[in-house]
Structures are given as C-alpha cells and as structure tokens.
Amino acid sequence: MTDLIIAILSTIGVIAILIAAIGILRMPDFYLRLSVTVKAATLGSGLLLFSLAIFFPQVSVTTKAVAIGFFLLLTAPVAAHMIGRTAYLIGTTLWKGTVRDDLKGMYDKDSHRLSSSNKDVQAKQAAAGEGPDQAG
C-alpha cells in the first residue's frame, strides 16, 4: 500500500517537472515560461519530498523534508516575482497574443515607482508638461 502511494506521488511529481521542462522550450514568451516553470517545479519537488518522507521511517528525514518543502513554498514565489518585475522593467516584450496589459505606462521611468491607477500617471505627466501617453 505504501509502495503504491509512493509510486503514484513520485510519478506525478516527475511528470510535473518534465512538463515544466517542456514548457520552457515551448512557451512563446518570457512571462509564460516563468509562469509555467516556477509552479510546476515547486509542485513536482514538493511531491518528491513528500514521497521521500513516506519512504524513510526516520523522523529526521521527515522533518527535513517538511522544512525543505516549507522553504520552497515560501521562496519560489518571491523569486518569480523579482524575476518577472525585472523583466518588465527592462522591457521584455509580451507575446503577440497577449490580450491585455494593465501594467503599461504605470511605472515611473526614473524612480521605478509603481502607481496604482491611471489618474496618478496622467496627473504626473500633466505636471511634467507632457500630454497623456496615447500609446498607453
């Protein structure tokens, strides 16, 4: 019974990581690649760690697996956020099929401060003597 659970869990985990790897190759733009990779890899390694914890009866292995899983869950989204933000700031282009981009024109070009609504941006541009950005 335990063997069966371990087999199923680790297989699903490995398949998730495999799909993440294929996703890196196949996805059309950077953000989609990031989106596919981070989550599937976290899920996959989490499942592998979980089956590891079931396989070894020692308490020390279980606590280590739980701790590693916890820190993976805690740090992976932060890393994805920072990479995505940097990519947007340096102007990585979105895929041509992108239907909506609310982030466009929201960053202050010099200070990289992010405003929360369009009104702020337009007010700032009017104060700086520019008209509202037509492309935005």
Residues at the interface with other proteins (CB under 8 A): 15-16, 19, 22-23, 26-29, 31-32, 34-36, 38-40, 42-43, 53, 57, 59, 62, 66, 73-74, 76-78, 80-81, 84-85, 88, 94-95, 97-104, 106, 113-117
* Of 26 and 132, CB closest to other proteins: 26
Of 115 and 125, nearer to other proteins (C-beta) is 115
Least separation, in Å, of the C-beta of 52 and other proteins?
A: 13
**Angle separating helix axes 59-89 and 30-55, nearest 10 degrees:** 180
**Token pair in block for residue 72:** 């993976």
Q: Is 42 helix (H, G, I), strand (E, B) or coil?
A: helix
For the bound state, the minimum distance from the C-beta of residue 102 to other proteins, rounded and expressed in Å, comes to 4
> What distance in Å separates the CA atoms of residue 106 and residue 112, rounded to the nearest whole number?
9
Q: Are 87 and 32 in contact (CB under 8 A)?
A: no
Between 112 and 134, whose beta carbon lies closer to other proteins? 112
Taking the complex as a whole, the smallest distance from the CB of residue 88 to other proteins amounts, in Å, to 6
Cα(1)–Cα(81) distance, integer angstroms: 40
The residue assigned the tokens 């697996």 is 65
Instruction: Indicate the residue among 111 and 134 with the shorter CB distance to other proteins.
Output: 111
- C-alpha span between 9 and 25 (Å, rounded): 25
Tell the smallest beta-carbon distance from residue 7 to other proteins (Å). Answer: 18
